[in-house]
Amino acid sequence: MPDHSTDVIPSGHKVKLILRGFIVTQITHGNDSALIGALDPSISSCHQPKIQVYQVFPPSIDAPGGKAIEIRSPVPDPANDFFLTVSPTPRNGIQVYQKDEATFQRHDERHNSRKDFRWYLDLSEIHEQPIKLDLGKLHPKLTINKGLFHTSARSDGELRVHPRNAAKPLKHFGKFASEITARVYLDRAGDTAAFINGGNLIFTIRNGDPFSYDIVYDCGCLFSEDENVSDFPLLYGAVTNAAHQHLPYLEQVSMEQDDPALDSAAQLGEDFVPLFSPEVYCMGGNGGG
């Protein structure tokens, strides 16, 4: 495999971080850390994260299917940043999973792994230029120093990229990752992982403990069923171009349903009933530093 990915998702993780909704991330294979950001409340109060933490026990005589207990104290506070930190400093920090070295064919689902990280939106690819995160517009932020990232759920429908610049063509984009997961492994005898929120320790886990933890970090915001509107434009309050300037209107894009019925209805002046719920547009994507 190339230096920018791994083709294996091992079993035996000790922490699983599940990321949903409108998150903006800085995830690069081989880096010492990755960043997950929620939109600042000044951009969208609706997309502030809802965090749930579960202690997960393996199957037993009393619980053949295993058991998960929600950790309710201390209560995670989105007013403060989060840190998921493995100590001592890990040898392998951030990894992303992809099936193989072949060019990713988004429209060829049959030959792609459902867990391939490349289903996740790459903001630089979509905009055809380097996209950077405006860290001052992300709050709270979650920093993780070890984790293997992969896709864990995809959209029901397909999307197309609609450039604001009318001189550029529409692009049939396909499905995308609606949820990604980071698996944290404790490889060495003395390894520990701590989940910290501001000054509060939510949990600590050690290599060899007979349980694991699941963290659900959900920045979803459900729209009315009658409102078929993408929230993707909120992204432009939190990203910049390579010159650290916010993108001019003609360099922006919208993400739309890719369905022939949509075009036919528009041409005939008819109402269109979407094939899938508009909350699939509750998404950000992966940018650079």
Examine the pLDDT at 87 and tell me if it is beyond 60.
yes
- At 16-45, the pLDDT tens digits run 999 999 999 999 999 999 999 999 999 998
List Cβ neighbours of 151 (8 Å cut-off, separation of 6 or more). 114, 115, 116, 117, 119, 120, 177, 179, 180, 181
> Looking at the whole model, is its pTM more than 0.85?
yes
Query: What stretch of H or E contains 204?
Result: strand 200-206
- Among 175, 193, 174, smallest CA distance to 184 is for 193
Work out the percent of the chain whose per-residue pLDDT is above 90: 67
Q: What share of the chain is helix, strand, coil (3-state, %, to 5)?
A: 10, 35, 50
Mean pLDDT for the stretch of residues 3-12: 86
Spatial separation of the C-alpha atoms in residues 93 and 97, rounded to whole Å: 13
Sheet holding 50-57, edge to edge: 67-70, 50-57, 212-219, 15-21, 177-184, 147-154, 94-96
pLDDT at 213 over 90: yes
Which of 191, 217, 258, 190 has its CA nearest to residue 23? 217
- Residue 275 — very low, low, confident or very high, per pLDDT cuts 50/70/90? very low
**Residue 194 in tokens:** 């701590």
In this prediction, residue 265 has a pLDDT band, given cuts at 50, 70 and 90, of very low
Q: Mean of the pLDDT values across residues 75-99?
A: 94
Whether residue 103 is predicted with pLDDT greater than 70 in this model: the reply is: yes
Average pLDDT, whole number, for the chain?
A: 88
